[in-house]
Structure 1
Amino acid sequence: MHENIPFPEFQEVAAEAEAALRELDLADLSTAGILQPVENYYLIGTYPPLKAMEEIRGEDFLSGVGRNCSVYLHIPFCEQRCTFCHFAKEILPQQTRVERYLQALVKEMEIARGHIGRPTARTVYFGGGTPSYLSADQIRRVFGSLRETIDIAPDAEITYELHPSVIDAPDYEERLDALAAAGVNRWVFGVQSMDDRILAKLNRGHTAADVQRLLKMLDDRDATNVSVDLIFGLPYQTMENWYSSIRSLVECGVEKFNIFPLMFKQADPISAHYRKNPEIFPDARGRLLMHFATEAIMKRLGFRRGPLFYYARADTHSQQQEDKYDSIEDINLLPFGVSGFGYVDQVQYYNDCSLDGYMASVESGKLPVWRGSRLPEEERMRRTLMFSLRSGGVDRDAYAARFGADPLERFRADLAPFLDRGLLELDGRVIRATDRGAPFVDSIALHLVSDDVRGRIREANSRIVDVKRDPLDRYDYSPIERDPVAATVPARRAGRTALPVVL
C-alpha cells in the first residue's frame, strides 16, 4: 500500500459508517420501496431482462455490430460449486467434455465471422465459471481463434478471471505465462472474504493464504493491473472481519476492488442456507454499514469509485465496465460461449444457457442465440438512464442530443423520490448518484422499468412451475418482478408481496 497513507483504524471506520447510516431514514426508504429486502436484492446488468425477451435469430441483427465493440467469452468449468454462484457452469467435467466445449466455442467464432465482419475489440473479458481451469495449450488455442475472428486493438484491455485454488495445479505457472503471452493485461479473481470460516461456508475451495500466494505469483510476473472481488452480506460476516478482509488485501498491494452485496437466486445453495438460518447473515442495516465502511476506507486511501461497486486508485478501474455502463449504445457487447449475454444493434440478447443446447446448436452450424429483444427508443432511453447512473452519471445535453428529450423532464416523476431524498443530485448538467444514494442505484433502475417490460415478465412468471430448474428463472439475472428466495410459485400466483425489510 502507499506508505504515506496510513490505513484507518477500525473504530474510525465504524464511526464514519454509523454516521453515514444515521443520515438515512431507513423506515421511510423501506416504505417507499427504495430499501429492498435483503433476499430480493439484485443489480440490474441487462435490460430488458431474460424473462422479457422472446426467441430471436442472431442472423437478424449481428451484422449490425459496431466497428468498435467489447468482447466477452464464457468458460463454464469449475473445481467446486461456490454456494452463491448462479452463472452457467459444470463442476469437474471430463476433459473430453471440456474439449468438446472449446471446439464449439471456436466454431461459434467461425460462424460469427460471416455475420459480424471484423470489428475491433476495445476490451476482451474471459469470465466463468473459472477461466483459469483451462490448460496452457487450451488458453493458446482459444486466444488464437479469437484473434482470427476479431481485431484486438493494440491498447485493448484484456481481462482474465482466475481462481485462487488453481495455484495448486502442477502447470499453473505455465497457465499464467500463457495468459501473459496471449496479451492479458488485467487480472481479476474472486476472493469474497479473507476469513477462512466464511470461505469454507461458501465452499470456495481456497483459503486466505492461497489468495496471498496468488498475489505474490502475479507480482513476480510484474502484473500491475490486478483486481479482486469481495462480497458483503455473507454468512458469519461482521463489521470486524469485513474491515480485516479489506485491510489485508490493501496491505498486500491490491489497488483495484469490485465490492458488491450478496445476491440471492432461488437455485443457489446459499439461498437454502438463508431460508434455514437467516440469523447468520447480516441484515439490511448490517449490509449498509459494510457499504459505508468500504466507502470510508476507500476515500481515506485515495481510491475512486466508479462504476458503482468498483474502486481503484487509478483513473480507470475497468474500461470494459465503463463502456458497458456509459457507452454501450456506441460500443456494443459481443459474447461468445454458453449463456453469454450481449447488446448489438439495439438488441439485448442471450446465447443458449444450456451447455448441451449450446454445443448442439453450434455443432449443427447455427448461431447459439437463444432469446433477445430489440429495444424501441423508449426502452433505450430508460436503459441509458439505468446504466449511466451506475457510472459517470447522465449528461443531460448528450442524452438530449441522442434521444431528443431532457432525461430530467422526461422521467421527472420516476426520479423525484430519489432527488427529494438526496440520493440523486444535479451536478451542473449531469444527474448522478450521491454518496448516500449509491447503495440504492438499483432501486432507481426498478422505478424506471416500463409497464410493458413488467407485463412480459409477469406473463413469463405465470408459466414457470419450477423456480430452481426452469432456465428462464435460473438465468434471469434481474430483480424485476422477482419473488424473494423464501417465496414459492403458489405464493406468487396468490399475489404474495415481498417480505418486509429487517432494519
Structure 2
Amino acid sequence: MSQTLSSSKAETSAVCLPVPPPLSLYIHIPWCVRKCPYCDFNSHPLRTPLPEQDYLEALTRDLQAALSCVRGRRVHTVFIGGGTPSLLSAAAVDRLLSTVHTLLPLDPQAEITLEANPGTFEVEKFRAFRDAGINRLSLGVQSFNDRHLSALGRIHDGREARAALDCALTLFPRVNVDLMYGLPGQSVAEAVADLETALATGLSHVSTYHLTIEPHTLFYARPPKQPDEDSTASIEEEIDARLAAAGFFRYETSAAARPGHACQHNLNYWLFGDYLGIGAGAHGKLSTQQGITREIRFKQPRAYMEAAYRGDAVQAREPVAPRALPFEFMMNALRLREGFEPALFAERTGLSLTVVEPILRQAQARGLLQWDAHRIRATPLGQRFLNDLLTLFLPE
C-alpha cells in the first residue's frame, strides 16, 4: 500500500524557525511585446506605452510596505523577471536598483539577474544595464531555428538570437540561455543543434525546458503536434550527453552550468530559502519564528499599481500549514541532482526529519531515493519519475 505523510504527526510537531533562511528579492515586470502562445506566466502584451515611471513608483511603495517583514535581513540575490524586463529603459533599471540598495541591506557580492528577450537587445542599452548593477543576464532564446521561433510566436529570429548572445557574453560576467525542446515538428538533430549553437559561444549556464501545454494558453486551445515520447526521450539523452561532454553539470532538473556558475537565486528557491516578491502577480515566501507565510501580489498591472499606491499590494497572505511543509520542501529540494543535507529539512521547515522518515524509507526501498547521513537525493529513477516520488510526501 502506498504511504503518505501522516497529517497528525506533522500538525502536532512544533514549527520553530529561530534562524531564518537566506533571503532573495524577486521583482516582476509584467509586460511583453506580445504574448507567446505557450506562456502561462503573468505577462501582458503592451497595447499602450509602458507606464514606466508609474510602475517604478508602485514597486518602490510595495518594497517600502514590505520592509517590516524583512527588517534587518540581508538580501543575497535579486532577480528581475517577467514578462520582458528588458523593455525597461536603462534609466529605469538604474533607478530600480538604486531603490533596492537604499531600502535593503544588499550583499556586496549579490547576484543580480535581468531576464531579456533577444528581440529587445540594444548594445548601448544593455551596457547601461550592466553599469547599473546587473551582473547576470538570462536570455530567453528558446531556439536558434527560425521555423521553430515562428511557431513559438517569438519576436526574434535566429540571427538576432546569436547576435544578442555574442554581445551579452562581452558585457556580462554571467549569461544564461533558455532553450526549449519538444517543439512542433522538431527533430532530435534540430534540438541538439540549438544546444550546440549555445555551447559554441563559451557561455557558462544553460536552462533547457520541455515545451508543455499549459491551461489558459493559445496552445492549450489549439495544441500543436509535438514529437512523440521516444523522440523526446532521445532529445533529453542527447542534451545530457552533450552538456556533460562540454563540462557542464546538470545541477537541477532544468538547469546545467559549468563549475561555480550555478544560478544562486534559483538555488535559494530549491533549498527552500526565503524570497520577497514585488511587482504584479509576484509570489513570496517569508519565514519567521512562528512559521512560514506565502504571499501573492495583485496580478493585473493596473490593480497592482493602485493597491501599491494605497499601501498594500498583497492580495493574499496564507500561512503554510505544518502538514504541508514536507511536500513543499521536497518539491523544491529534490529537484537538485545533489539533493540536500538531512539537517536542512529541520532548518528550513522547523520540523524534525522523523516526520518524514517512514516516507524516506519507502522511497528508498522503491529505488527512488538515496538517503545516508550526508545527503538525501533522488536516484536517476527518482529524477525520471519525480512526480511519483513527490506524491509520497503529500499529506493525507
TM-score interval (norm. to shorter)? 0.7 to 0.9
Corresponding position: 1:353 with 2:295: no
Q: Is the 8 A contact 1:408 1:415 kept in 2?
A: no
Deviates more, 1:90-99 or 1:156-165: 90-99
Equivalent pairs: percent with the same residue?
25
User: Counterparts of 1:69-80 in structure 2 under 5 Å?
Assistant: 69-80=23-34
Partner of 2:54: 100
2:353 corresponding residue in structure 1:
405
Distance 1:287 1:371, change over 3 A: farther
Counterparts in 2 of 1:203 and 1:434: CA distance versus 1, 3 Å: same
Gaps of 5+ in 2: 3-17
Q: RMSD of the TM alignment (CA)?
A: 2.4
SS of the aligned residue for 2:281 comes to coil
* Bigger strand fraction: 2
Secondary structure in structure 1 of the residue aligned to 2:160:
helix
* Cα distance, 1:96 vs structure 2: 5.9
Match of 1:342 among 284, 288, 295: 284
How far did 1:408 drift? 5.7
Are positions 1:180 and 2:130 aligned together?
yes
TM superposition score normalised by structure 2 = 0.87
Q: Does 1:319 align with 2:264?
A: yes
Shift of 1:114: 4.6
Deviation of 1:360 after TM superposition, in Å, equals 1.6
Moved more, 143-152 or 338-347: 143-152
| Deviation (angstroms), 1:334 | 0.5
Superimposed CA distance per residue, residues 156-203 of structure 1 (whole angstroms, 9 cap, x where no aligned partner): 111111110012xxxx33321222112211110111112111100111
For residue 339 of structure 2, what is the aligned residue in structure 1? 393
Tell me the distance in 1 between the aligned counterparts of 2:356 and 2:374. Answer: 10
The 3 A distance-change label for structure 1 pair 297 and 353 is same
Aligned partner of 1:435 among 357, 372, 380: 380
> TM-score by structure 1 length?
0.69
Aligned-partner residue type, residue 113 of structure 1: L
Given that residues 22 and 268 in structure 2 are in contact (C-alpha distance below 8 angstroms), is that contact kept between their aligned partners in structure 1? Answer: no
Distance 2:159 2:132 in 1: 28
Letter in 2 for 1:261: H
- Counterpart secondary structure, 1:258: strand
Do 1:77 and 1:93's aligned partners in 2 also have CA atoms closer than 8 Å?
no
Output the CA distance in 1 between the equivalents of 2:355 and 2:192: 38
Tell me the CA shift for residue 149 of structure 1. Answer: 1.6
- The SS at the match of 1:95 is coil
Alignment of 1:17-416 (within 5 A): 66=20, 68-95=22-49, 97-167=51-121, 172-221=122-171, 223-274=172-223, 277=224, 280-328=225-273, 332-345=274-287, 346-365=292-311, 367-391=312-336, 392-399=338-345, 403-406=351-354, 409-412=357-360, 415=363
Give a deviation string over 1:198-217, Cα, whole Å, max 9, x none: 10011111111111111222
CA distance in 1, matches of 2:128, 2:264: 23
Moved more, 382-391 or 127-136: 382-391
Point out where structure 1 has 5 or more consecutive residues left out of the alignment.
1-31, 33-63, 452-503
Relative to structure 1, the CA distance from residue 177 to residue 434 in structure 2 (aligned partners, 3 Å threshold; closer, same or farther) is same
